[in-house]
Structure 1
Amino acid sequence: MRRQQVLVLYLANSALDSAVVGWSVYDGTGATRRMAGDEEVPPYGNGLDALKDGWRLFQASQLLPHARGEEFDLAYLKYEFFFEKLVEVAP
Structure 2
Amino acid sequence: MVALKKELAAEEFHFIDGYDFQGADFSVKSISRQATYENGIKLKVLNSIADLEATVGAVSKTKEIYQFNLRESYFNLDNEAIKHVQIQLCKFIDIKSII
Q: Which has the higher contact order (CA 8 A, sep 6+)?
A: 1
Structure having the larger proportion of residues in helix: 2
The reply to whether TM is greater than 0.5 is: no
Structure having the larger proportion of residues in strand: 1
